[in-house]
């Protein structure tokens, strides 16, 4: 029975990798190229409609050695981004997240990067290579499931009341991230 579980896990991991690579291929089209069928891609990612709901709390073990809890930031807008060092779309959006952090950190906005399915050394190298200064770390495995994660990168906006109000699948570009942050700041 144990072998069957490993087989299923391997198949699911393979499907996830294929979806990520497919998303990466579409991301390369998004800068204005057209597809063979003539369709123009405006954005790879997408704002996924959700009903606002309480954000599942989690503890993030930062790569800097510190631990933070999501609930520590009640009263602030929190951008939670799930990523991995081996994910090309994650690398593509990393500069966007860092510039967004620099732009909004003095407005009561916190960025938390949640690294998944990764080797810690590779994750730390990714953070260094991309000059990421916002909090990044790991959490228990179930956090991704509690958030309903379908792939990476995926980003969630948590308002000042601790409610998940927005969800974005795929890599973000500057104006998309700004719109998500503004939605969090304007949420009542």
Which DSSP helix (H) or strand (E) runs through 80?
Answer: strand 77-83
Residue 20 in any domain: the answer is no
List the chain residues with pLDDT less than 70.
Answer: 1-4, 6-44
Give the total residue count for the chain: 188
Q: Which residues participate in catalysis according to the annotation? A: 90
**Residues 23, 114: Cα–Cα separation, whole Å:** 20
Residue 62 belongs to a domain with what CATH number? 3.40.30.10
- Residues 168, 154: contact at Cβ < 8 Å? yes
26 belongs to a structural domain: no
From the number of C-beta atoms within 10 Å of its C-beta (0-12, 13-18, 19+), residue 182 rates as middle
pLDDT of residue 34: 29
Structure confidence at residue 15 (pLDDT): 55
Q: How much is the pLDDT for 141? A: 80
Range of the domain at 128: 44-186
Please name which of 88, 80, 91 lies closest in space to residue 55, comparing C-alpha atoms.
80
Measured CA to CA, the distance from residue 96 to residue 20 in angstroms comes to 19
pTM of the entire structure?
0.77
Domain-embedded: residue 116: yes
In a domain, 30, yes or no: no
Q: Is residue 31 one of the residues assigned to a domain?
A: no
Residue 188 has a pLDDT of 81
**What per-residue confidence (pLDDT) applies to 145?**
93
Question: Is position 167 within any domain?
Answer: yes
């Amino acid at each position: 029975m144990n072998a069957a579980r490993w087989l299923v896990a391997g198949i699911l991991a393979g499907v996830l990798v294929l979806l990520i690579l497919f998303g990466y291929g579409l991301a390369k089209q998004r800068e204005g190229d057209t597809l063979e069928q003539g369709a123009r891609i405006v954005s790879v990612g997408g704002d996924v409609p959700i009903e606002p709901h309480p954000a599942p709390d989690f503890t993030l073990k930062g790569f800097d050695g510190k631990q933070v809890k999501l609930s520590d930031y009640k009263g602030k807008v929190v951008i939670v981004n799930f990523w991995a060092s081996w994910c090309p779309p994650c690398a593509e959006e990393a500069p966007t997240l860092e510039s967004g952090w620099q732009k909004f950190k003095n407005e009561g906005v916190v960025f938390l990067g949640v690294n998944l399915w990764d080797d810690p050394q590779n994750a730390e190298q990714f953070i260094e290579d991309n000059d990421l200064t916002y909090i990044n770390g790991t959490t228990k495995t179930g956090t991704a499931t509690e958030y309903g994660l379908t792939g990476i990168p995926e980003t969630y906006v948590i308002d000042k009341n601790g409610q998940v109000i927005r969800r974005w699948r795929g890599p973000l570009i500057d104006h998309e991230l700004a719109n998500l942050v503004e939605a969090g700041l304007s949420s009542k």
